[in-house]
Amino acid sequence: QAKYKERGTVLAEDQLAQMSKQLETFRTHLQAFASKHKQEIRRSPEFRLQFQDMCATIGVDPLASGKGFWAEVLGVGDFYYELGVQIIEVCLALRHRNGGLITLEELQQQVLKGRGKFAQDVSADDLLRAIKKLKVLGSGFGIIPVGGTFLVQSVPAELNMDHTVVLQLAEKKGFVTVSEIRDSLKWETERAKQVLEHLLKEGMAWLDAQAPAEPQFWLPALFSELHAQD
């Protein structure tokens, strides 16, 4: 029995050594691929996404450090750090209007507008990766799933699940009312009012107290007509 146990240990060690060797070979090929296609990776969002997926399969994060092979050869670290700065600039410029919430689509449009027509293209995936890096700084940046898209939060406001659900409810029309929250979510009136009052306090919602039936709470980040005016 001891011999079988010893043989099994040796076999497991051999398998682990083979896997490590294969992983190192794959990593070497990935580096060669990255060097060869450096310009395509930097220029094309689609190619960049495919490369990121390839890295993920072997646990490599090209953005984990500003030093080393990935940053020096590809410059991908600089690309995302620069993109992060541009995201911050856009969010700060629009914060007075949207209270620190912006759709990923509008953020992409504003970032592209600021980069100019001769700059590298930027995809939604690029923005999400850059925002995740900003979250590490503890600067209030976060991502909220809403419908088929995302809202980017750029202020350190405390938003719990109740706030997120109300944002999702307001996604289609751009506004929501207390009765809509009560009917759709089966909440007590006080619970709905507390959530809406918090969004008002943080500047993320605007109140239309003269609406025909009852007050409407508009989310400027979701109000497409308001975006068009800019």
Name the DSSP letter for residue 221.
G
Mean pLDDT of the chain: 79
Q: Contact 184/169 with Cβ under 8 angstroms?
A: yes
Q: Which fold has domain 81-226?
A: Arc Repressor Mutant, subunit A (1.10.10)
> Quick check: 180 pLDDT over 90?
yes
Q: What is the pLDDT of residue 12?
A: 61
- Integer Cα distance of 196 and 150 in angstroms: 20
Domain boundaries, the chain: 1-74, 81-226
Q: What is the pLDDT of residue 194?
A: 95
Give one word for 147, left, alpha or beta, with left for phi > 0 and alpha for psi -120 to 50: left
Name the DSSP letter for residue 206.
E
Give the helix ranges, DSSP H, for 58-188: 69, 76-98, 104-115, 124-136, 161-170, 178-185
> Residues 77-134: pLDDT tens digits?
567 777 888 898 999 899 888 899 999 999 999 998 887 765 667 889 889 988 887 8
Name the helix (H) or strand (E) containing 225: helix 224-229
